[in-house]
Amino acid sequence: MTAEACGRCGAQRAAERDPAVLLAWVSEREDGAQRWLCPRCARDHVRDIESKLPTEYWSGPGPA
């Protein structure tokens, strides 16, 4: 199993110790692959996520 990291900024989920912040990480499946978003990236892209906009159309920097 690979380390869980944010697909946008590369933040490592394992580095977080606060249980409340760990629960704020977003997990999604796209084309059969699991992706993670850190709380900050999830917050920045909540409208993109809710509208099911493909990630290549999200505003801001792309995957790390």
What pTM did the predictor assign? 0.73
Phi then psi for residue 56, to 5 deg, are -65, -15
Cβ–Cβ < 8 Å for 38, 25: yes
| Pairwise CA distance, residues 53 & 11, whole Å | 22
pLDDT tens for the chain, residues 1 to 64:
467 999 889 999 999 899 999 999 999 887 888 989 999 998 888 887 777 777 777 766 555 5
Q: Which residues contact 4 (CB under 8 A, 6 or more apart)?
A: 12, 13, 14, 25, 36
| Pairwise CA distance, residues 19 & 22, whole Å | 5
